[in-house]
Structure 1
Amino acid sequence: MGEQAQHGSQPPLDPLPIQRLHESLINRIAAGEIIHRPASALKELLENCLDAGATSIRITVKDGGMKLLQIQDNGCGIRKSDLPILAERFTTSKIKSFSDLSRLTTYGFRGEALASISHVAHMSVVTKTKSDPCAWKTCYSEGVLVPPKAGQTPDPKPCAGIDGTTIIIEDMFYNTPTRMSALRSPSEEYARILDVVTKYAVHNSKVAFLCKKAGSVTPELSTSPTSIDQAIRLLYGHAIGKELLHIEVSSSPTNSTSRPIGSGDVDDAEKWSAKAYCTSPNYQAKKTVFLLFINHRLVESSSVKRAIESVYSGVLPKGAFPFVYLSLEIDPRSVDVNVHPTKREVIFLNEEDITERISDAIQQVVSQSHSRTFQYQTLLPGRSNESNVKKAREEEENEGEEDKGERPASVPQPTKLYSQHKVRTSLHDRTLESMIPVLNPSRSDGDDISKKVVGLRDIPESGCDLTSILELRKAVQKSIHHDLTEIIKKHTFVGIVDDYRCLSLIQHATKLYLINHAALAEEMFYQLALMQFGSYRRLKLDPPPPLRTLLKLAVDAEPGTEKSGLSKNEIVDRIAKALVLRRDMLAEYFEINITLDGEIESLPHLMKEYTPDLNKLPAFLMRLGPQVEWQIEKECFFTLMHELAYFYSPSPSQFIPSIPDSANAQGKATTWQTEHVLFQAMRKFLVAPKSLLEDDVVQVANLPDLYRVFERC
């Protein structure tokens, strides 16, 4: 106890001085982050070969790559003038500024691969360009040129060679014994090298690959230019090749029934496309073989892998796994490749949405493929087949008189579509409204209103050269969510769930969605207002109501006006003065005609088949005062059109919850207009933005998932 107390009472040690590490130590530490084993060095070199446009790549390996790792390509080669700085850190031909990272279409870009290799191994390079009369050979150590032999200069030496580059790496990790001792056996390291070459050979099926051990006559891997599916068959075996299914999916909707606002060749940074080759349920493996390439870069993604494995968990027995090759191409601006030293991982926008789309596509193709087949023995050994022959004859005799002729050798069977993947939609299907009994079924004009058919007219986009309007239209197009737009355009209306909160159910394919139709309608009317800017139809008010009277009604009903420090009459005066002062602009651009006497003669009519609730007119005029940014042109148009869209959209104020719709003629007419006009208009005109996914559109059911629950029960 005394010794412990004495030890605990010792004063703290003095802080150690901070010192700058030596350059060679810094480079060796950095090299350890890039080059983990021979296979990681080979991956970097393979990517350099492909960046150089090589069509043939030959790899030679000795002792698992620790004694020798040589890679030869027939690419463009390296210029002699670039050889002195070839192995220095951060020397690259791929980027010049940080902004270039958002436009990368190559594998390498940081210029660390060759530098890292030169710090942990002896490296030599033989290269020749098409314009050079001969090849040049150089040796590197610690990132700089070194003489090949004592007494010679480190300058590049001329030698015989063919177009392309050969990189020779010897004695890897000779100066880092700890790293060398952590490596596996040469055979295991060679297996890792073959795995890397195999994956790149599949993805780059138009490039010839050859990989062999030093001194061996026959290569372990040899490919020639072919298709991806043939490369998979060659490299992974016939068992996988015969069960491959091909899938292609992209961000673009398959078709569009209407032209979006400001449509055209818009450069969308969130476009993506994917193609995959995966095995059918007939193939089973002990572990998943997953090849993932994002923008042609071999990467890993546990989330994507788990999502695809979950698709197969419903069709494969427990303990069985598939083979999946997936190539995903995303706009470089949406991908960050600089998040891992070896570029093994990347980060990209909308990862969850893209993964879900790909998983759904794979699930659809896998579920629609033929069911699993099993090999079985028709006869027990040693037993007579008389009973089988008799059974076959009975089946032929019972098939009927029409089949007495010679039967074809094989009849193609239609692809079976499982019940959970059938989409049951029809214009004659019952809606939720039709299932609610009417208490007083009296005949009236409103009872037959559902028999009318609303045909929406096309709304042309107005020609406008104002920069602010063009920017607003471009912003709408940029914010589009293609999947949600496709859902709205091809949905089937199910019914209104809650009139007061404006909640409805729609169906798309096998999924059921709960939506806030007021929010969707408001977005649609904003887009219609933006589309028709400057050329609105006129909704005439006869007789024209006084502006001040309407404003006074709204201000009297608005709570909290006393917090402004103004009386209600002063608020009415200010808003009326502001609107009358801008009456010329409102009339020219928005067809809001206000006379000098302060009467409202007309309003813009955004859609001929739809009339807004004029009970909301006082609140609309009142909000134009404080809610519109009058001083800035773009903000003024943006806020004013949003107020106009809010005026047109349905809201809880239209409904009276205490009175049932069956006894409320106005509520019944509003419900009909919502179903037969608003939803039809949203199918035709709405370009759904991503913001609607936050609170206004929620998936509540998915038929295949419900079937899985029932199967467990």
Structure 2
Amino acid sequence: MTSHRRSPSPEPPGPRAIRRLHESLINRIAAGEIIHRPASALKELLENSLDAGSTSIQVIVKDGGMKLLQIQDNGCGIRKDDLSLLAERFTTSKLTTFSDLSKLTTYGFRGEALASISHVSHLTVITKTKSDTCAWKAAYADGVLVPSKAGYTPDPKPCAGNNGTTIIIEDMFYNTPTRLSALRGSSEEYARILDVMTKYSVHNSKVSFVCKKSGSMSPELSTPSCSDTSLAIRQLYGHSIAKELLHVTTSSTSNDSTEAVDEDDPEAWSAEAYFTNANYQGKKTAFLLFINHRLVESSRIKRSIESIYSGILPKGSSPFVYLSINLDPRSVDVNVHPTKREVHFLNEEAIIERISDAIQQKLAGQSQSRVFEYQTLLTGGIAQSASRKGKEKETNADEVEGDDDRPSTSQVAKKVLSQHKVRTSLQDRTLDSMIPVTDPLRTDSDEPTTAIRLRDIKESTCHFASIKELRRLATKRLHHDLTEIIKKHTFVGVIDSSRCLTLIQHNKNLYMVNHAALAEEMFYQLALLQFGDYNRLKLDPPPSLRMLVKLAVEVEEGTERSGMSKDEIVDRIVETLMDRREMLLEYFSFEISETGDVRTLPHLLREYTPNLDKLPMLLMRLGPQVHWESEQECFSSFMRELAYFYSPAPLFVVSAPAPDEGEQVKLKAEAWRIQNILFHAMRKYLAAPKSLLENDVVQVASLPDLYRVFERC
């Protein structure tokens, strides 16, 4: 008998040497803790402008702040002698000793914002103090002064400018591609910037704020200098919130107190809140929290306030709350988060409880009656108000189009005719909503899901002239009016699944659309958008290519006209696809193994899985329908076949008796996918071509025309 010796176990690795990180790496890591996205850079710079005593702040944004973020203020400016230290880490005018942290009254104090920005972008500063005869311009990189142009010295240069400071940030995260790729699209980043500015505009109502996109003449946000927080809320959040606002003040001494914090008492505090009553029901809680004038977040305070409204508002409704708390600086620790997003303070539980009690008492005195505004669906009617006391039953109400700030019926000078009113509420019931449908994508819950959040899809980088030309042609075919209808439609319901017919509404018109044709065009555009960079849909276990093609050829009619037997057709198609395995894998993530198994398919929309019953037909059509010899025609025809495979068109259209219970569940699940995934994706991605107007989009009703018919009766 042969004896087997066990091989000796490998020796554990020795300790690695500890090395000091390079200074540039240290600074770039630190920058990532402070500057997460353009909105976080803006927050830091807004606070610097407010610390400088600015009364006017103007912001210009390009590509969501990733290409350009410019902040101009009229504050005290920066001395020329301090410009050399401006972007170095831990340089500040607000701290001298560690004890200064215990009595901070400014926003910034660590001196990291501009330093962090200079490590991840190209930073330029233009500043002028009142005593200067001119402004000074300086450029920074990695925390130090650099020449603004080749051949220049890095010293600040004189230039024209107004009193105050202008910070220009260009190409944010150009040297950290991972952070750049993790950002959302430019529109979402711009929305975050507007959100930050809106919140600071509410709290600093005496300061004028302006925000606009680069190249735009009109600003997206513009506030005058006023002295009333409620006016700022009205202007920024709309009259629907402002007309339902309640106001309360409280302090460590008594409720309804507007006294300032006692400087001699470290536990003294005061708070002021504006919040909506029971008549306002938002989709998402709007919570603005400022502690010592610093915009912060506190899950504990938010949960406490939400618990108050849970017994007042219907499920799924949320309030608007603005809360400002002033505390003695000695009782607040502001240095617990790199971006100062969170703070800790003494007696936190007691203060939260006192504020919550004040808000609850105010709400209790106002919630005895609730006002409902309603209008009959589509056919109009006069908006009415009904006040019901005590416990009311929940009722469905449609919102009346137009500004909520409308006078009472007796004050209306010009009545809006019913045929010119448009249903715009997304809460209205659809044809398919009479019976709840479970989300077919979820197996762990029986609760219906009503919304799917689509992941952003970015255009892949491609240098093929053929793909660039196909993308240009897709843009050229765009029909602006039809695209507008699709992007802003209201879904009504699927009316015929077998023929793929759906009703949608846009403005005063009702349209019948072929959702399969619209989806096919969208999937073609998604395939073109992601060319060479597709996600993969894995087939496990991988089916045989030959078996799938054979299944499709067996049921295909008219194959005898080709002059070949069915087996010869199968051999030809399989050979064609096997010869092009490498190209299919590289460009389309379409993987066929050496043994002829289909392993992966391109996944065009991650939230949507195509009907795999159509896979045999797809593979069969790829043989004769794709023009393999011409590059542009090959790519175009392949993506067209892929789009047809993804479309929800049924495999066979046959007349059948009424579906049984199991079939009805499948039809409802498919209708759910069409409404909540496909039409949601069309709103976001479909650039509708004019060709869809020929047979696939038909106007079936117009509200003004219907009224004319009834007027004749």
**Residue 308 (structure 2) aligns with:** 311
The equivalences for 1:467-478 within 5 A come to none
With CA pairs under 8 Å and 6+ residues apart, which has the higher RCO, 1 or 2? 1
Counterparts in 2 of 1:218 and 1:14: CA distance versus 1, 3 Å = same
> Match of 2:247?
246
Partner secondary structure for residue 372 of structure 2: coil
* Offset at residue 375 of structure 1 (A): 3.1
Match of 1:229 in 2: 230
What amino acid is aligned across from residue 65 of structure 1 in structure 2? G
Separation in structure 1 between the aligned mates of residue 173 and residue 375 of structure 2, nearest angstrom: 60
SS at match of 1:373: strand
Query: Which residue is equivalent to 2:372?
Result: 375
Quote the residue 2:269 is aligned against: 272
Deviation at 1:8, TM superposition (A): 7.3
Q: CA–CA distance in 2 between the matches of 1:8 and 1:246?
A: 77
Equivalent residues in 2 for 1:294-305 (5 A)?
294-305=291-302
Output the amino acid matched with 1:21. L
Answer whether contact 1:34 1:116 (CA < 8 A) is retained.
Answer: yes
Partner SS state of residue 127, structure 1 = strand
Q: Following TM superposition, by how much is the alpha carbon of 1:225 offset from its aligned partner in structure 2, in angstroms? A: 1.3
**Structure 2-normalised TM-score?**
0.51
Q: Which runs of 5+ in 2 are unaligned?
A: 382-409, 411-713
RMSD between superposed Cα atoms in Å = 2.5
Aligned residue for 1:225, secondary structure, equals: coil
Instruction: Give, as a single letter, the amino acid of the residue that structure 1 aligns with 2:288.
Output: L
Call closer, same or farther: CA 1:150–1:5 in 2, change over 3 Å: farther
Q: TM-score, normalising length from structure 1?
A: 0.51
Distance in 1 (alpha carbons) for counterparts of 2:238 and 2:225 = 17
Question: Is 2:88 the counterpart of 1:88?
Answer: yes
Residue 263 of structure 2 contacts residue 328 of structure 2 at CA under 8 Å; is this kept in 1?
A: no
Q: For residues 349 and 195 of structure 2, what CA distance do their matches in structure 1 show?
A: 28
Letter in 2 for 1:205: S
Inter-partner Cα distance in structure 2 for 1:310 and 1:246: 19
Alpha-carbon distance between aligned partners in 2 of 1:156 and 1:266, rounded to the nearest angstrom = 42
The one-letter code matched in structure 2 to 1:284 is Q
Kindly state the Cα deviation for residue 74 of structure 1 after the two structures are TM-superposed: 0.1
Alignment of 1:297-446 (within 5 A): 297-375=294-372
Matched to 2:314, the amino acid is P
Q: Tell me which moved more, 309-318 or 101-110.
A: 309-318
Contact 2:53 2:76 in 1 (8 A): yes
Rounded to whole Å, the distance in 2 between the matches of 1:290 and 1:90 is 32
The answer for unaligned runs of 5 or more in structure 1 is: 257-264, 384-408, 410-713
- Report the equivalent of 1:151: 151
Q: Which residues in structure 2 correspond to 1:503-652 (within 5 Å)?
A: none
1:136 touches 1:156 (CA, 8 Å); kept in 2?
yes
The 3-state SS of whatever aligns with 1:84 is: coil
What is the SS of the residue equivalent to 1:375?
strand
Which residue is equivalent to 1:218?
Answer: 218
Deviation at 1:318, TM superposition (A): 1.0
Assess if the C-alpha contact under 8 Å between 1:203 and 1:296 holds in 2: yes
List per-residue Cα deviations over 1:288-317 (Å, max 9, x = no partner): 100000000000000000000001111111
- What CA distance in whole angstroms lies between the structure 2 residues aligned with 1:70 and 1:23? 28
Show the counterpart of 2:17.
17
1:376/1:105 Cα in 2 relative to 1: closer, same or farther (>3 Å)?
A: closer
Percent identity between matched residues is 72
Deviation sequence 1:383-420 (CA, Å, 0-9, x none): 9xxxxxxxxxxxxxxxxxxxxxxxxx9xxxxxxxxxxx
Q: Compute the displacement of 1:151 (Å).
A: 1.2
SS in 1 for 2:190: helix
- Whole-angstrom CA distance in 2 between matches of 1:377 and 1:155: 66
Does the alignment pair 1:170 with 2:148?
A: no
Aligned amino acid, residue 216 of structure 2: S
Work out the CA distance in 1 between the residues paired with 2:150 and 2:98: 41
Whether 1:113 and 2:110 are equivalent positions in the alignment is no
| 8 Å contact from structure 1 (residues 299, 345) kept in 2 | yes
Q: Is contact 2:57-2:74 (8 Å) kept?
A: yes
Q: Are residues 254 and 286 of structure 1, via their aligned partners in 2, closer, same or farther at CA, if it must alter by over 3 Å?
A: closer
Cα distance in structure 2, aligned partners of 1:224 and 1:129 = 24
Change (3 A) 1:140 1:369: same
Query: How many residue pairs align between the two structures?
Result: 374
- More helix, by proportion: 1
Shift of 1:354: 0.3
Worse-matched range after superposition: 87-96 or 365-374: 365-374
* Alignment partners' CA distance in 2, 1:7 and 1:237: 76
Q: In the alignment, which residue of structure 2 is the partner of 1:660?
A: none
Q: Deviations over 1:343-402 (max 9, x none)?
A: 00000000000000000000000110143434367999999xxxxxxxxxxxxxxxxxxx
Q: Which amino acid aligns with 2:351?
A: I
Residue aligned with 2:81, SS: helix
8 A Cα contact 1:282 1:371, kept in partner = no
1:515-562 per-position Cα deviation (integer Å, ceiling 9, x unaligned) = xxxxxxxxxxxxxxxxxxxxxxxxxxxxxxxxxxxxxxxxxxxxxxxx
Structure-2 residue corresponding to 1:659: none
- Is the contact made by 1:281 and 1:371 (CA closer than 8 Å) also made in structure 2? no
CA contact (8 A) 2:248 2:256 kept: no
